[in-house]
Amino acid sequence: MELNIWQILLESGLVVKFVLLLLVLSSVLSWTIIWQKYRELKTISEANEKFNDFFRKSNSISDIHREANETIDSTMSLMFRRGFDELNKVSEKISNAGKGSIAQYFSEHGVQSLERALKTGYNTANEKMDLRVSLLATIGAITPFVGLFGTVWGIIDAFAGLSQGGGSIEAVAPGIAEALVATAVGLAAAIPAVVFYNLYNNQISRINSQMESFSQDFLNLIERTILIKKDH
């Protein structure tokens, strides 16, 4: 006798149905996050490439700042804007105090304020990129056990009916089948979540490395365009 899986699921117990519904909802949530993060990280990578190309080709801070305001999806442009804003604040404070030049200030006190501003931009970008990615790890870790719970419950329920007597293994086969389906659905929800969690973590790590390199490039630009003037 051939088993009809859909018929078995329709006739399954309330606990197994609830488990399957929970797993299906988890899978839908997982794929929604996967698609959203795919588009988001793709947009960030393309925007970073565009902005970084402009940054490397230009020596004008004002031109780069204008490009940064236009390339708002770039995490590097976010860091640049934070660094640029801090540079303007320091310059304005020195100008109002009438205490030397900005080049002299950075030569005497270092560029720690710019480094902190860049770090703030770095952290802000990471918060956005990491948003909901950890939820994929949670789904990947929990759903197999939820499916296993449904399987165990279904098997117990099936054999409980058999223990009452008058039954056969053919009679409990549908109950065992519905129970095993819960494990299969749990794995179907967990595997994509784990795969894309690792994939996106690697992408985010690569973007982080690029941002760390950009931080040094920004400070080098400041040194070339501002601090070096002190020696002339």
String of DSSP letters for 93-123: HHHHHT-S-HHHHHHHH-SHHHHHHHHHHHH
Is a pLDDT exceeding 90 seen at residue 215? Answer: yes
pLDDT given for residue 111 in this prediction: 82
- For the chain, the distance separating the N- and C-terminal CA atoms, rounded to the nearest angstrom, is 93
Which residue would you say has higher pLDDT here, 194 or 58? 194
Q: Average pLDDT, stretch 189-209?
A: 95
Would you tell me how many other CB atoms lie within 10 Å of the CB of residue 69? Answer: 12
Contact 19, 149 (CB under 8 A): yes
Q: How confident is the model at residue 6 (pLDDT cuts 50, 70, 90)?
A: low
Number of other residues whose CB lies within 10 A of the CB of residue 189: 26
pTM given for the model = 0.82
List of residues 6+ apart from 70 with CB closer than 8 A? none
What is the pLDDT, as a whole number, of residue 162?
A: 63
Number of folded domains in the chain? 1
* pLDDT at position 85: 92
High-pLDDT (> 70) share of the chain, %: 83
More confident residue, 73 or 111: 73
Task: Kindly report the average pLDDT of the chain as a whole number.
Answer: 84
Boundaries of domain holding 143: 5-231
The pLDDT assigned to 232 comes to 42
pLDDT tens, position by position, 132-179: 999 999 999 999 999 888 888 877 777 766 655 545 556 566 667 777
Tell me the backbone φ, ψ of residue 72, rounded to 5 degrees: -75, -15
pLDDT computed for residue 3 by the predictor: 52
Predicted local confidence at residue 121, as pLDDT? 94
CA distance 152 to 137: 24
Mutual angle of helices 112-130 and 75-97, in 10-degree steps: 150
Higher pLDDT, 135 or 104: 135
21, 184 in Cβ contact below 8 A? no
